[in-house]
Amino acid sequence: MDALIKLIFDNGASITERDEAAISLAEFSDIRTITALLSKAKDLKENELVLNSCGESLGIIWVKQNFFDEKAYRALSGTARYGVYIVIKSRKPEWMEQYQLEEDKF
């Protein structure tokens, strides 16, 4: 996990490597993983593929934890929010209405 977190912040790593690391982090649900994904998912200089994967991993973690962090979600880049949205829409659709998540809000 620590190596994956380090990799998503490594600007010398390729987009593919950072993207794969972001995807792999969905397997971990601890605070360090969530904090790292949230931080990277707000980085407007990051590639959109990586941002989307960070969002998807956050969505997977939140679904596994049965906890949606609305404040954190609203602070993400649009691309990362979309990644979360896609996961929520397919795995936890009741949150769509509860948190008023709309596809056109990215």
Q: Indicate whether 38 belongs to any domain.
A: yes
Helix (H) or strand (E) holding 70: helix 70-75
pTM, 2 dp: 0.95
Tally of domains within the chain: 1
Which range of residues forms the domain containing residue 65?
Answer: 2-98
**In this structure, is residue 103 part of a structural domain?**
no
DSSP H or E segment with residue 54 = helix 48-65
Closest alpha carbon to 48 in 10, 17, 5, 80: 80
In a domain, 33, yes or no: yes
Q: Is residue 28 part of a domain?
A: yes
Dist. CA 16–CA 8, nearest whole Å: 10
User: pLDDT, tens digit, for every residue of 30-84?
Assistant: 999 999 999 999 999 999 999 999 999 999 999 999 999 999 999 999 999 999 9
Does the residue 104 lie in any domain? no
3-state DSSP call for residue 53? helix
Tens digit of each residue's pLDDT (9 = 90 or more) over 28-37: 999 999 999 9
Quick one: 67 exposed, middle or buried, by C-beta within 10 A (0-12, 13-18, 19+)?
Answer: exposed
